[in-house]
Amino acid sequence: MHIFIIATILVALSALFGYLNVRFIRLPNTIGLTVISILFTLAAFGLSYFDDSLLQAEKYIITQIDFRTVLLDLMLGFLLFAGALHTDLDKLKKHRWPVLAFATFGVLVSTFLVGFSSFYVLDLLGLDVPFIYCLLFGALISPTDPIAVLGILKKIGAPKNLEIKIVGESLFNDGVGVVIFLTIFGIANGTDEFSVFEIGKLFVHEVLGGVLLGLALGAVTFRMMRSINDYSIEVIISLAAVMGGIVLAQYLHVSGPLAMVAAGLLVGGTKARAQAMSEETETYVDKFWELIDILLNTVLFVLVGMELLVLDFEEDYFLAGAIMIPLTLLCRYASLMIPIRIFEKPLEFIPNTNLIMTWGGLRGAISIALALSLTEAMHRDVFLVMTYVVVIFSIVVQGLTVDPLIGRLKKQWK
């Protein structure tokens, strides 16, 4: 009952904040819910000078939730499957090599660039933080968040051949980013030896193992759905595939998020849909996963806003985060330059691809979840504040301005 009560409160708050956003504020849900949740938390802080009941209740909810586990081990799998299910597999195949380059080479380069930048920024502010921990910050902030990216791109008019690059990268690079993060975490924690062999072994096991598991799950799901014509059972089959896949990924110690991406792409591909689903089934499957996507996204971004409660309000920490906003964007821009130069002519990239991918590559809840997993010895407080500042700027400022940016650039393309 304890877990049910907390879940009920979160869903009720999500419904209320979602209503206020749609009725009055009218921002994209991802942005509106984050803003309202932050304002709600700040209001609780203000009221605490007279009566701290609301603040204590909110703190209790946050402390009872392991945000990292809830997001990375549970919610992310459902959200990525839903996102991949509605991604055009044929277009993704055409752009698979740049997407792969962005999600691997780009994330790795960005990790080191952000790591170096944050090390010197913190040193400039008089904060003595070892370089290895700055690399951890680089690893957790470099991947773009598929949840935030998909939530915003649904509302803007990005060219389709550009949208598929941004979506494809965001679907895959979180898995790579988590592998890089865990590798550096092990080295920083003194539990792993640094070796190319160990890194390669972890990458193959986590990433390749996750993709293979997802393809196997997708193939089984496809065959079962193709052999019957009952939309209700087929919806349940798709749900069972995701839930079973998440459990299997944890048991096999492979990347659950990548498994769900692979399964979703296989089941949701144009040819697979035509062979496995009737029009009625396709409608119900799409609507079901769209509802799951909306519900979990709503709860997730309410939680992101409420995570303000766990921050250590040190002025230097917020200043470091503010300085890292433009530096993180510059590092992302630089990390995309080589892949874009290689593929822009063969695949006819539109002008200003790097600029749009940099500004449209939003950070989100995954970065906060990874920051929360840092230990106190790794200067968790400073990096959590820095991460939160960068993420909120990304969701709110970049999220609100990426559409006008694309609109302005479109005029130059004509």
- What would the pLDDT profile of 153-169 be if each residue is shown by its tens digit? 666 666 777 778 888 88
pLDDT given for residue 196 in this prediction: 62
CATH-assigned architecture of domain 67-413: Up-down Bundle (1.20)
> pLDDT tier at 335 (50, 70, 90 boundaries)?
very high
> pLDDT tier at 247 (50, 70, 90 boundaries)?
very high
C-alpha Rg value of the chain to the nearest Å: 21
Which token pair is 221?
């799901």
User: Using one digit for the tens of pLDDT, what is the confidence trace for 67-125?
Assistant: 888 888 889 899 889 989 988 888 888 888 999 999 999 999 999 999 999 999 999 99
- Give the residue extent of every domain in the chain: 2-63, 67-413
> pLDDT tier at 354 (50, 70, 90 boundaries)?
very high
Residue 302 clears pLDDT 90, i.e. is over it: yes
Residue 190 clears pLDDT 90, i.e. is over it: no
Which token pair is 132?
């290895």
* Mean pLDDT across the chain: 89
> pLDDT tier at 207 (50, 70, 90 boundaries)?
confident
pLDDT given for residue 39 in this prediction: 94
If you average pLDDT over residues 127-135, what whole number do you get? 95
Residue 343 clears pLDDT 80, i.e. is over it: yes
Task: Classify the phi-psi angles of 379: left when phi > 0, otherwise alpha if psi is within -120 to 50, otherwise beta.
Answer: left
Residue 292 clears pLDDT 70, i.e. is over it: yes
Please state which of the ranges 2-11, 175-184, 321-330 shows the lowest mean pLDDT: 175-184
| Axis crossing angle, helix 380-393 with helix 131-141, rounded to the nearest 10 | 30
Longest CA span, the chain: 66
Spatial distance between the Cα atoms of 361 and 399, rounded to a whole number of angstroms: 9
Residue 142 DSSP code: S
Residue 50 clears pLDDT 80, i.e. is over it: yes
What element of type H or E holds 324?
A: helix 315-343
3-state helix, strand, coil split of the chain in percent (to 5) is: 85, 0, 15
Cβ-contact 74, 369 below 8 angstroms: no
If you average pLDDT over residues 32-44, what whole number do you get? 93
Give, in order, the Cα–Cα distances in Å from 179 to each of 101, 208, 216, 283: 16, 11, 22, 36
If you average pLDDT over residues 240-253, what whole number do you get? 95
Question: Which residue in 144, 95, 171 sits closest to 344, CA to CA?
Answer: 95
Residue 226 clears pLDDT 60, i.e. is over it: yes
Spatial distance between the Cα atoms of 68 and 372, rounded to a whole number of angstroms: 7
Spatial distance between the Cα atoms of 413 and 407, rounded to a whole number of angstroms: 10
Residue 193 clears pLDDT 80, i.e. is over it: no
Residue 69 DSSP code: I
Residue 144 DSSP code: P
> pLDDT tier at 409 (50, 70, 90 boundaries)?
confident
Q: How many CA atoms lie within 13 A of 167 on its CB side?
A: 29
pLDDT given for residue 114 in this prediction: 98
pLDDT given for residue 3 in this prediction: 83
Spatial distance between the Cα atoms of 31 and 99, rounded to a whole number of angstroms: 26
Which of 9-13, 179-183, 347-351 has maximum average pLDDT? 9-13
pLDDT given for residue 324 in this prediction: 98
Which token pair is 339?
């892949």
> pLDDT tier at 17 (50, 70, 90 boundaries)?
very high
pLDDT given for residue 153 in this prediction: 64
Spatial distance between the Cα atoms of 26 and 19, rounded to a whole number of angstroms: 10
* Residue 87 CB partners (closer than 8 Å, separation 6+): 164, 167, 168, 171, 264, 265, 268
If you average pLDDT over residues 318-344, what whole number do you get? 95
If you average pLDDT over residues 191-203, what whole number do you get? 64
The larger pLDDT score, comparing residue 220 to residue 192, is at 220
Helices (H), 21-130: 29-47, 53-63, 67-68, 76-85, 89-94, 96-101, 107-124
Residue 234 clears pLDDT 70, i.e. is over it: yes
Residue 182 clears pLDDT 90, i.e. is over it: no
Residue 205 clears pLDDT 90, i.e. is over it: no
Residue 8 clears pLDDT 80, i.e. is over it: yes
Residue with tokens 């605490």: 48
Report pTM.
0.91
> pLDDT tier at 333 (50, 70, 90 boundaries)?
very high
Please state which of the ranges 74-83, 143-152, 237-246, 339-348 shows the lowest mean pLDDT: 143-152
